[in-house]
């Protein structure tokens, strides 16, 4: 039995766990006016977690397997762990001013965020159903509380309650599907499930198991028709947590989908492929059409996030109908590429919303009229991130859309071609509401009587904006840098 522990491979997880304990301990001993040290400790700890990831990436050891193959640190895991650590770092930077601006419980807040980041990092290395589910629940559990962190706001309480109820329901469905999957195959490891499921594709029990697991992850990525929790939760939660939900939590769901579909259930593509094709079409279409009517910028980004999930599901649908190994690898790499780019441009958009809502004192899009004239720096960054989400060159979003369309057009079937056409129509619809925000900021007249907060953006939020914008610009001009990371993960697709 391979139960030897590789402490270097586990160093990112250990660093995050120790940081969470340090933050909680500091919160116990510090006076209220010194609670800001919990934020400093959290930011430093997540930053330090990147160093063992870099060490592992440059080493020539290859994949590191522990616990009899149930926990693996390979190229796929390292790329996704890096993404989760970077996204968590940016969210913590975005949180500092927001949390200090009101009487929030700072220590508990940062502790819960750190534990959720730890769960996402664990998921990237999970190679059996048990560890995958534990990691996913460690991601979601703290967010049930964080979504309702604005305790005096009824909308925040509603957000937390909806997210908790539907989250528990989705977890139950997923766990039932996993138990059926274990009952049908007798295996919990993904490699074992793949080998045991070769002759079970036509079995009703196996089909139900696969669909239940997919539905559970569909909730996590807020795919239509399992998206009902997202708009209200995103609007009611603290904005940094909304950013985390829309990026890291969603990315964790996609990691689970990637591992389940490509590693554990490639033989069942005839089951999950059509299901994800339908979800991709519904998510893009329903979310984009609904976003056209939104007046609140956070709610608009909520529906944008659902639509972006639909775009990311397109390569899954391609993989479900294609038997060409090259098409499978292209679809797998397209999802990784889209996830990386989406994370930075969406986090950047939410960072702008945090800073902009503080200056304009409103989250309504109309209240941002003329914002670019009295805050040109933030107005410029808003244009950068929203146009990147729309896929406008030379910003990074164009390459995300490019690899998505390339995978769909390379699928070689009528269904993937139709999916590409639907995605193209939805990309045009999305451009309209993204451009509407930029037009309001730069071209509409500011109200005559407007009360503006003249306090400057603090350093941590400014750093989050700069880092996000840098990635969006660099990845847009040099997409091969992102392509390098996505190509290193193709080993998983090859199984």
Cβ atoms of 267 and 336 closer than 8 Å: no
Which string of DSSP letters, residue by residue, matches 256-308?
HHHIIIIII-GGGHHHHHHHHHHHHHHHHHHHHHHHTT--BHHHHHHHHHHHH
Q: Count Cβ atoms within 10 A of the Cβ of residue 461 and give its class: 0-12 exposed, 13-18 middle, 19 or more buried.
A: buried
Query: How many angstroms separate the CA atoms of 123 and 468, rounded?
Result: 24
User: Looking at residue 52, what is its pLDDT?
Assistant: 93
489: closest CA among 8, 82, 2? 82
Q: Count Cβ atoms within 10 A of the Cβ of residue 14 and give its class: 0-12 exposed, 13-18 middle, 19 or more buried.
A: middle
Greater confidence (291 vs 158) lies with 291
pLDDT value at 314 more than 60: yes
Cβ atoms of 148 and 76 closer than 8 Å: no
User: Looking at residue 1, what is its pLDDT?
Assistant: 46
177: closest CA among 86, 271, 96? 271
**What is the pLDDT of the chain when averaged over all its residues?**
88
How many independent structural domains does the chain possess? 1
Residues 400-438 pLDDT 10s: 999 999 988 887 788 888 999 999 999 999 999 999 999
DSSP letter for 322, please: -
**pLDDT range class, residue 494, cuts 50, 70, 90:** very low
Of 44-53, 115-124, 227-236, where does mean pLDDT reach its minimum?
227-236
Query: How many angstroms separate the CA atoms of 386 and 288, rounded?
Result: 14
Identify whether 437 is part of a domain: yes
Residues 41-83 pLDDT 10s: 999 999 999 999 999 888 877 778 888 888 989 888 999 999 9
**pLDDT range class, residue 490, cuts 50, 70, 90:** low
User: Looking at residue 455, what is its pLDDT?
Assistant: 66
Helical pair 459-477 and 75-100, crossing angle rounded to 10 deg: 140
Q: What average pLDDT does the segment 13-26 reach?
A: 95
User: Looking at residue 495, what is its pLDDT?
Assistant: 40
DSSP letter for 393, please: T
pLDDT value at 366 more than 60: yes
pLDDT value at 327 more than 80: no
Q: What average pLDDT does the segment 292-318 reach?
A: 93
Residues 381-391 pLDDT 10s: 999 999 999 99
Identify whether 46 is part of a domain: no
Contacts of 296 (CB under 8 A, 6+ apart): 235, 363, 364, 365
Q: What average pLDDT does the segment 447-476 reach?
A: 82
Give the global pTM. 0.93
Identify whether 369 is part of a domain: yes
363 alpha carbon, distance to own chain's centre: 22
Range of the domain at 407: 268-495
Percent of the chain with pLDDT over 70: 94
User: Looking at residue 483, what is its pLDDT?
Assistant: 81
Identify whether 95 is part of a domain: no
**pLDDT range class, residue 456, cuts 50, 70, 90:** low
User: Looking at residue 391, what is its pLDDT?
Assistant: 93
Q: Which helix (H) or strand (E) holds 90?
A: helix 75-100
Phi, psi for 189 (deg, rounded to 5):
-75, 150
User: Looking at residue 493, what is its pLDDT?
Assistant: 40
């Amino acid at each position: 039995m391979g139960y030897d522990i590789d402490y270097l491979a586990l160093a990112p997880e250990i660093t995050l766990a120790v940081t969470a304990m340090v933050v909680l301990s500091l919160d116990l001993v510090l006076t209220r006016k010194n609670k800001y040290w919990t934020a400093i400790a959290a930011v430093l700890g997540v930053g330090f977690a990147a160093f063992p990831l870099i060490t592992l990436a440059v080493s020539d050891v290859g994949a590191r397997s522990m616990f009899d193959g149930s926990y693996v640190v390979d190229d796929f895991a390292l790329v996704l762990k890096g993404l989760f650590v970077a996204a968590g770092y940016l969210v913590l930077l975005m949180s500092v001013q927001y949390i200090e601006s009101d009487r929030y419980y700072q220590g508990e807040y940062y502790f819960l965020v750190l534990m959720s980041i730890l769960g996402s990092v664990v998921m990237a290395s999970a190679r059996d159903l048990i560890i995958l589910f534990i990691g996913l629940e460690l991601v979601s559990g703290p967010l049930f509380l964080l979504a309702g962190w604005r305790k005096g706001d009824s909308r925040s309480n509603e957000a937390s309650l909806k997210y908790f109820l539907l989250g528990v329901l989705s977890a139950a469905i997923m766990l039932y599907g996993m138990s059926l999957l274990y009952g049908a195959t007798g295996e919990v490891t993904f490699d074992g499930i793949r080998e045991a499921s070769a002759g079970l594709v036509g079995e009703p029990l196996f089909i139900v198991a696969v669909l239940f697991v997919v539905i559970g992850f569909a909730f996590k990525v807020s795919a239509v028709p399992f998206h009902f929790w997202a708009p209200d939760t995103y609007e009611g939660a603290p904005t940094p947590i909304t950013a985390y939900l829309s990026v890291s939590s969603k990315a964790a769901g996609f990691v689970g989908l990637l591992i389940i579909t490509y590693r554990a259930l490639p033989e069942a593509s005839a089951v999950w492929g059509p299901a994800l094709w339908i979800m991709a079409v519904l998510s893009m279409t329903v979310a984009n059409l609904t976003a056209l009517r939104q007046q609140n910028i956070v709610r608009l980004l909520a529906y944008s996030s659902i639509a972006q999930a639909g775009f990311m599901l397109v390569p899954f649908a391609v993989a479900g109908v294609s038997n060409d190994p090259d098409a499978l690898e292209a679809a797998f790499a397209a999802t990784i590429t889209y996830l990386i780019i989406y994370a930075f441009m969406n986090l950047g958009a939410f960072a702008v919303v945090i800073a902009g809502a503080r200056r304009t004192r409103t989250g309504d899009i109309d209240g941002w009229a003329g914002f670019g004239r009295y805050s040109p720096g933030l107005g410029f960054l808003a244009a950068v991130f929203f146009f990147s989400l729309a896929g406008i060159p030379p910003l990074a979003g164009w390459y995300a859309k490019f690899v998505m369309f390339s995978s769909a057009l390379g699928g070689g079937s009528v269904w993937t071609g139709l999916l590409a056409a639907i995605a193209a129509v939805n990309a045009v619809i999305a451009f309209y509401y993204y451009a509407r925000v930029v037009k309001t900021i730069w071209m509409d007249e500011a109200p005559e009587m407007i009360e503006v907060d003249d306090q400057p953006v603090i350093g941590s939020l400014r750093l989050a904006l700069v880092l996000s914008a840098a990635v969006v610009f660099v990845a847009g001009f040099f997409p091969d840098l992102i392509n390098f990371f996505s190509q290193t993960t193709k080993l998983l697709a090859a199984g």
